[in-house]
Structure 1
């Protein structure tokens, strides 16, 4: 006999109701999206009447999670960037010079004078006065080498030290270059992700592509140029000793120094030492603030080791100027008045409030270790995204209508039950997508359309099996019961194989392929649930109410 325990009926209808509730916000997408943005802004402190009004557009006790729309549906920006890893080699060589100089100074009796020579960007050339002291000089410099911190570089050191006459040549080893490339790209990836997250964009796609490239897709942003402004600024902050000031832009700075312009005073240039005292990488926090005159500024704080280095430098150089350099421009060059032990300070300049806020965001997210060169950029307008949504709606509605008509004409009342389950099925797909925070793309819509077609397969198997049992002179109750029992194994087998395919597509694919796999996989889960439980429960409830002597399927 057909039976459904009361607890099973409650559980099935509760699951259906939960799925419909989770899917409901997507029917009021713009209103709920504005509500969510306003609530987030209020939590951050922007408790304005406008935000309160927007937050009141949707009841707070209702679910408010939405299906995120992908780049092809919402519009946005697409960038393909290449990390210039060679920049890091030059930076490493510059920062190595003070350490090597300090190590060789106690050996002057043996090696003579120590002079930095003009060098290629990825080399460091140091001339010594006594060529007979070269073996000792090489020994001292090689002692500064450190092991490469990667599995592939086990046993190798980070620098190679050779000589050419009276010149010591220091370069990065091949193992260190490979490790540095890996670290640089990974660090750039994380910093790009942090910068975009700071802006608050929805569901960006940021992933490595190839050895030195990063793919960046951000839905909902105005243009590729706007996205480049967010992530393209290197925000390299350094604190360098000042050698001199000049108005001559052609002045030769000398070996180990560089000439940089002043940000606030056009025509003024500073000669600074290339090796910084501390860098922006040592910052642990940066916040917009105001100076003693009420002008916008940025306050910062160093980590413990950098605070100690900065404090030692200021204690030893009271009365000397030092430069705060941001992206190869001197923001300010104050004179050290006293020892600064706390590891905190403030950057002043001719900032607007917006500029100081943006600078704090960039410094807090971290400096890009190397320049990004944008190889490809595209802006996908919201109109094109809306066209994709409209096309997807039309395709889904046509498929939906065709399936509904076919099931009604083929199976009559039982077909109506299957159609109701199909509507519940699609709603539950959107409910699950909202629950897991998935991103819906155009291929994802294709997965939903495919699910609509596949969802009725299980019901077709059951109904055809019931027809066969009715031909065997079974009673209607027994025919319905055997129809579901005997079709169950075929339904499970067919859907498991398709689900395995969806899992493989998700694991091995990327981007659009994953979007298709997610909707296909979730659609299979909801299809099996609605076919085995929802449709069957509706048939049982109808049969208990009508008690027909005969049925037609």
Structure 2
């Protein structure tokens, strides 16, 4: 029989719309202004910290909706933005510099929705507010690092090829100066360097060579520094739980980072600016040198050694030569050992494993130190107005090499579980190849984001009202079908956007939804006009409905599939806001085809199907 759906199709349609409505519901509850407290390196967030915060809020007559301690972080929900700002300032003053107090927004989704995993849509920076950074990679440090590696590689290469030299040093022009005992040794070195693609002979003199890094190698290092830093920043932000960040390269040496929802630039800088890595160095434990005398200045540190300090200020004499750097770390995790002390387990890549194996074989029962290296903003600016980064180093562990090991070992001597956790996280996310400088920062407040949301909702509402009015006036009852399908379409878009883990709604995304509203009625216009055409040609009502949907299907499919292909291409090659537009457009196309064809057909079948009808309200 024409125009009849089996029961399962009606059930399927109802279930799909109900599930879409269920997962779209959290978006009407909004978000609470919140303050999030986490510990800096070495500081724990405990119940005692929570009690201290509660006391501060009570003494200042500030009422909190809730204060929750979870995952070494405290989340405080308050009623308004003004209360949020006041509470943040009071808590910061009370806790001091050991803790990071950040403004944030926390979903106000009811517990019964959270149980089934229903959460509001993730909003972009322009809607939710947050911080935007333009960061520049410090290429000078990257090239200095390359030069150090090149110098060590040349020493090893000359040794392997039995080329004797008197000294090998670096000059101020990022070049390597090698002095030889004879012209024969110098000529042998020239021959060898010409065989190596990464080096060029800049000049030569009496038994001396000035060697530079090849231009191709320099450019490759610059590119690698930006690409690897971009990937590492993305991993670090993801692992620290910042929702839907944007981290992308811009130009030759810059990176854009956007963190929606974070209102505190100090927290963002702590997340992004930590260039944490480890250096493993041998301890100079020679009895010929007195560390106290070196620290006091009575004697000088021996050649090739330097003094570094532990967290409690104890000096340690280390060889300058680095056994291994954090660049070779592939994974790390923290745990408590059998004595209840925190430690970090480290895994190395194959090259790092070979280096560590060779070192431990040659230095068994000798002490080795783990040096934590970090670059931080010094608060000073250079002549170009850029922040000057300050290198901070701290010996976190000195241990005797008891056995031979290679790509897996543990670092102990860490003061707290929280410090071990943060160190493990930063190492797992990767050490930045070169320090980064924040040359531009922008904070988008939640009030500006709310204004954008209001304007976006108004544009959607006006688009919906105009479309509904047009369909009701022109197509009457079939216009009602189309209008109900349009509302169902919007519900499904919001529900799917809330469900997708990688989907973020931004202003361009709202534009994609508004465009979808207009495009969604196109399918119903085609169907309704085709039905009217069939009626004018003398077809019966039931045949006209059936032929109208069947005849319009090919045109609807062709029009929507080409638009969908465009959305896929935009998502694949676009970045940031372009992706936001593409994803809402793509989802809108798929849901509109479902609601416009299946949904309206179900309504038409329900009312007209299987009945003797002489006239349609169309």
Return the alpha-carbon distance in structure 1 between the equivalents of residues 176 and 298 of structure 2: 24
- From 177, 182, 194, give the equivalent of 2:235: 194
**1:130 matched residue in structure 2:** 182
Deviation of the 1:362 alpha carbon: 0.8
Deviation of the 1:65 alpha carbon: 6.4
Structure 1 residues 248, 386: CA separation in 2 closer, same or farther (over 3 Å shift)? farther
Return the alpha-carbon distance in structure 2 between the equivalents of residues 77 and 251 of structure 1: 50
Task: State yes or no: 1:282 paired with 2:328.
Answer: yes
**1:355 matched residue in structure 2:** 419
Return the alpha-carbon distance in structure 2 between the equivalents of residues 128 and 181 of structure 1: 31
Deviations 1:164-194 (A, max 9, x none): 2222333322222233233322221221122
C-alpha contact (below 8 Å) 2:27/2:119 kept by paired residues: no
Return the alpha-carbon distance in structure 2 between the equivalents of residues 250 and 227 of structure 1: 43
Deviations 1:335-377 (A, max 9, x none): 747555465232435x444333212211122211111122322
Matches within 5 A, 1:172-187: 172-187=213-228
C-alpha contact (below 8 Å) 1:16/1:428 kept by paired residues: no
Tell which deviates more after alignment, 338-347 or 456-465: 338-347
Return the alpha-carbon distance in structure 1 between the equivalents of residues 442 and 305 of structure 2: 37
SS in 2 for 1:200: coil
C-alpha contact (below 8 Å) 1:125/1:168 kept by paired residues: yes
**2:411 matched residue in structure 1:** 346
Deviation of the 1:86 alpha carbon: 4.0
Deviation of the 1:441 alpha carbon: 1.2
SS in 2 for 1:277: strand
Task: State yes or no: 1:535 paired with 2:570.
Answer: no
Structure 1 residues 198, 12: CA separation in 2 closer, same or farther (over 3 Å shift)? same
Structure 1 residues 404, 164: CA separation in 2 closer, same or farther (over 3 Å shift)? same
C-alpha contact (below 8 Å) 1:253/1:271 kept by paired residues: no
Deviations 1:373-420 (A, max 9, x none): 223222223333233223222222232233323322333222211111
**2:564 matched residue in structure 1:** 499
Return the alpha-carbon distance in structure 2 between the equivalents of residues 529 and 319 of structure 1: 71
Return the alpha-carbon distance in structure 2 between the equivalents of residues 379 and 95 of structure 1: 39
Tell which deviates more after alignment, 439-448 or 17-26: 17-26
SS in 2 for 1:170: strand
Task: State yes or no: 1:74 paired with 2:164.
Answer: no
Task: State yes or no: 1:424 paired with 2:488.
Answer: yes
Unaligned runs of 5+ in 1: 35-44, 146-156
Task: State yes or no: 1:388 paired with 2:418.
Answer: no
Return the alpha-carbon distance in structure 2 between the equivalents of residues 498 and 529 of structure 1: 15
Task: State yes or no: 1:441 paired with 2:506.
Answer: yes
Deviation of the 1:229 alpha carbon: 1.1
C-alpha contact (below 8 Å) 1:89/1:121 kept by paired residues: no
**1:518 matched residue in structure 2:** 583
Deviation of the 1:195 alpha carbon: 1.0
Greater strand share, structure number: 2
Task: State yes or no: 1:97 paired with 2:151.
Answer: yes
**1:509 matched residue in structure 2:** 574
- From 458, 465, 488, give the equivalent of 1:401: 465
Deviations 1:205-224 (A, max 9, x none): 22222233222222223433
Return the alpha-carbon distance in structure 2 between the equivalents of residues 224 and 442 of structure 1: 23
Greater helix share, structure number: 1
Tell which deviates more after alignment, 89-98 or 422-431: 89-98
Return the alpha-carbon distance in structure 2 between the equivalents of residues 81 and 523 of structure 1: 35
Return the alpha-carbon distance in structure 1 between the equivalents of residues 109 and 589 of structure 2: 35
Return the alpha-carbon distance in structure 2 between the equivalents of residues 341 and 492 of structure 1: 63
- From 365, 369, 378, give the equivalent of 2:429: 365
Return the alpha-carbon distance in structure 1 between the equivalents of residues 354 and 565 of structure 2: 57
C-alpha contact (below 8 Å) 2:308/2:393 kept by paired residues: yes
Deviation of the 1:518 alpha carbon: 2.0
C-alpha contact (below 8 Å) 1:25/1:32 kept by paired residues: no
Return the alpha-carbon distance in structure 2 between the equivalents of residues 290 and 472 of structure 1: 82
Structure 1 residues 20, 218: CA separation in 2 closer, same or farther (over 3 Å shift)? farther
Structure 1 residues 466, 30: CA separation in 2 closer, same or farther (over 3 Å shift)? closer
Return the alpha-carbon distance in structure 2 between the equivalents of residues 396 and 173 of structure 1: 57
Matches within 5 A, 1:42-441: 57-58=111-112, 62=116, 64=118, 67-104=121-158, 111=164, 114-120=166-172, 122-139=174-191, 145=196, 157-161=197-201, 163-165=203-205, 166-242=207-283, 245=291, 246-247=294-295, 257=304, 261-264=308-311, 272-273=319-320, 275-289=321-335, 298-303=344-349, 306-307=352-353, 309-314=355-360, 316-317=362-363, 322-327=368-373, 328-332=392-396, 334=398, 336=400, 338-341=402-405, 344-348=409-413, 351-437=415-501, 438-441=503-506
SS in 1 for 2:398: coil
Return the alpha-carbon distance in structure 2 between the equivalents of residues 65 and 86 of structure 1: 45
C-alpha contact (below 8 Å) 2:129/2:445 kept by paired residues: yes
Return the alpha-carbon distance in structure 2 between the equivalents of residues 136 and 361 of structure 1: 47
**1:28 matched residue in structure 2:** 26
C-alpha contact (below 8 Å) 2:542/2:609 kept by paired residues: no
Structure 1 residues 102, 499: CA separation in 2 closer, same or farther (over 3 Å shift)? closer
Task: State yes or no: 1:547 paired with 2:612.
Answer: yes
Return the alpha-carbon distance in structure 1 between the equivalents of residues 298 and 168 of structure 2: 21
Return the alpha-carbon distance in structure 2 between the equivalents of residues 483 and 107 of structure 1: 84
Return the alpha-carbon distance in structure 1 between the equivalents of residues 398 and 426 of structure 2: 23
**2:59 matched residue in structure 1:** none
**1:153 matched residue in structure 2:** none
SS in 2 for 1:276: strand
C-alpha contact (below 8 Å) 2:122/2:505 kept by paired residues: yes
Structure 1 residues 142, 23: CA separation in 2 closer, same or farther (over 3 Å shift)? farther
Tell which deviates more after alignment, 462-471 or 163-172: 462-471
